[in-house]
Amino acid sequence: MHLYFHVPFCARRCSYCDFAIAVRREAPTEAYVQAVVREWEGWQGHPAWAAAPEVRTVYFGGGTPSRLDPSGIERILERVARDRVMAPGAEVTLEANPDDVTAAAAAAWCRAGVNRVSLGVQSFDPSVLRWMHRTHSAEQVPSAVETLREAGVADISLDLIFALPASLDRDWGRDLALGLALEPEHLSLYGLTVEERTPLERWIARGEVTAVGEQRYAAEFLTAHGLLASAGYEHYEVSNMARPGHRARHNGAYWTRAPFIGLGPAAHSGFGESRQWNLRDWTAYLRAMTAGESAVAGQERLGAAAVALEEIYLGLRTSDGLPVDRIPSASRERWERQGWAQSSAGRVRLTAEGWLRLDALAASVSG
Ligand code: SF4
């Protein structure tokens, strides 16, 4: 079993972000812990535990989990370990913003059982960080990494965003080099997307900003692929690169369709073909939990066609690829001729060029 805790609190909303967040100066740790523990109690009788009794990964995502008082993380993990068996070496990840990483917080996270920290860096360029409405400075990133290392965090991942508007004059190669200089075990690289009802969407609608075109997106993606491969990182999933032995096991669970329970507002849970998701709004979620009601906002059962599409999409997005017989040979041969895929040992894997066309390629063979 894999657990995801959505911690929705952020100090302010970043200019591109449409996630389910609650902007709070102080994160209400006590209310959050009480609510998710109550939801957790409701999961204990779920039949999925019979086939997946051990907790293999726990992921605190957000929002900004590092804004919770670390005692909240500790209480949640204690409760999980009391009720369930934690697998030996279970991966426990916390997403953190660099400005929340203090020596005291890092030590408390480690004591609580966190062994992997994913830092939201996005860029090392001060003007880009301001444009993004990030709360941290570029200088806070190396000091956060150093503080985490001193506390004993052996697995650090950095998030960076590429494909920023050309008018920002962002030097992507410099940001990658500065990220690599910190020797993270893992990097997650996301292309900027324009989401509805964000400041970025408004700036674009008013003509103040122009979204990046496909060419620049592709060039930056391929630059990262080449640079990180030559630095010894495996590009093991379309958005993720790791040193050998440091792939994100929690995310890997999603890509292999392992069972997962999501707790907190907007969190999703999935067991084979069945999916459900929680109330998106923190206040509505809190109200439901306080009243002893269900947090579930919706559920669905995937049909055979949807499962097949998902398997193809998930398989193609990782470097493990798919068994060759899952892709019609005419499509596979065409992909190989174009340099979008390679086949070996009975599996077909997309190349970096192929990942740039992931959605279209997956859709083309799932009809
Ligand atoms: S810190 Fe993350 S979740 Fe919070 S507003 Fe910024 S991008 Fe969104």
User: From the CA of 117, how far away is ligand 1's center (Å)?
Assistant: 16
User: From the CA of 64, how far away is ligand 1's center (Å)?
Assistant: 7
User: From the CA of 100, how far away is ligand 1's center (Å)?
Assistant: 13
User: From the CA of 9, how far away is ligand 1's center (Å)?
Assistant: 9
The protein residue whose alpha carbon is closest to atom 5 in ligand 1 is 13
DSSP letter for each residue of 93-142? EEEE-GGG--HHHHHHHHHHT--EEEEEEE-S-HHHHHHHT-SS-STHHH
Q: Given ligand 1 and candidates 21, 97, 123, which is best to mutate, with the most ligand atoms within 8 Å of its CB?
A: 21
| Both tokens assigned to 103 | 């020596």
The protein residue whose alpha carbon is closest to atom 2 in ligand 1 is 63
Of all atoms in ligand 1, which is nearest to the CA of residue 10?
Answer: 4
CA distance 281 to 277: 12
Show the ligand 1 pocket: residues with CB < 6 angstroms.
10, 13-14, 17, 19, 21, 62-64, 97, 120
| pLDDT reported for residue 367 | 65
Distance of CA 346 to the CA centre of its chain: 29
Is residue 16 a contact partner of residue 195, using CB atoms and an 8 Å limit?
A: yes
Is residue 55 a contact partner of residue 236, using CB atoms and an 8 Å limit?
A: no
Helix (H) or strand (E) segment spanning residue 350: strand 347-350
| pLDDT reported for residue 25 | 93
Q: What is the dihedral of CA 159, 55, 276, 12, to 10 degrees?
A: -30
pLDDT tens for the chain, 367 residues long, are 999 999 999 999 999 999 989 999 999 999 999 999 999 999 999 999 999 999 999 999 999 999 999 999 999 999 999 999 999 999 999 999 999 999 999 999 999 999 999 999 999 999 999 999 999 999 999 999 999 999 999 999 999 999 999 999 999 999 999 999 999 999 999 999 999 999 999 999 999 999 999 999 999 999 999 999 999 999 999 999 999 999 999 999 999 889 999 999 999 999 989 999 999 999 999 999 999 999 999 999 999 888 888 899 999 999 999 999 999 999 999 999 999 999 999 999 999 999 999 999 998 987 6
pTM of structure: 0.96
Q: Given ligand 1 and candidates 5, 6, 9, 13, which is best to mutate, with the most ligand atoms within 8 Å of its CB?
A: 13
| Both tokens assigned to 149 | 């290392």
| pLDDT reported for residue 308 | 87
Of all atoms in ligand 1, which is nearest to the CA of residue 134?
Answer: 6
DSSP, collapsed to helix, strand or coil, labels residue 3 as strand
Q: Given ligand 1 and candidates 12, 64, 95, 132, which is best to mutate, with the most ligand atoms within 8 Å of its CB?
A: 64
The protein residue whose alpha carbon is closest to atom 6 in ligand 1 is 14
User: From the CA of 363, how far away is ligand 1's center (Å)?
Assistant: 30
| pLDDT reported for residue 36 | 98
User: From the CA of 74, how far away is ligand 1's center (Å)?
Assistant: 23
Of all atoms in ligand 1, which is nearest to the CA of residue 135?
Answer: 1
CA distance 238 to 164: 18
